[in-house]
Amino acid sequence: MKSWLLHALLAMVFAGMTSVVAKMGLTGISGELGLAVRTVFVFVLITAFALVVLPKDAFGTLSGHNLLWLGVSAVTTSLSWIFYYKALKVGEVANIALVDKGSILVAIMLAAVILKEPITSRILLGGGLIVAGLLVIARK
């Protein structure tokens, strides 16, 4: 198995777990407070991870370009998490997670337009199946 696929599958499993355990953690508190607490944990864990696995000189390789686009990514991630937690507080995990995964359609379009990545028939079919799933869930 290619390493990118293994990492993507592990990300999928942990992302799925994240929604369920987050919903459990929101019992009796607001989505905003839950998100703030979760984000503190993420910051600590990712910082510790970086300090362990990165060579000491890695931070010196950061450019303004890196900081700009990673900063923009942080803003979009934060907005995604804010709205995800608002939805998670009041909705069903399965429905919210499926709608959230519709973000792949946005990623496909942006990757094609901005990064010039090809949209193959395989990608179109997979994206179409996701849209079909979203429509099934939305109809109740």
Query: Tell me: the pLDDT tens digits for 5-53?
Result: 999 999 989 988 999 999 999 999 999 999 999 999 999 999 999 999 9
The answer to whether the Cα torsion of 78, 84, 85, 86 is positive or negative is positive
State the maximum Cα–Cα separation within the chain, in Å, rounded to a whole number: 53
Contact status, residue 101 vs residue 130, Cβ threshold 8 Å: yes
For residue 140, name the pLDDT band (cuts at 50, 70, 90).
Answer: low
Q: Can you tell me the distance from the alpha carbon of 89 to that of 34, in angstroms, rounded to the nearest whole number?
A: 9
Tell me which residue has tokens 């989505």. Answer: 31
Report the pLDDT value the prediction gives residue 1, as an integer from 0 to 100. Answer: 81
Domain map of the chain by residue range?
3-92, 102-140
Query: Tell me: the pLDDT tens digits for 79-122?
Result: 999 999 999 999 999 888 888 888 989 999 999 999 999 999 99
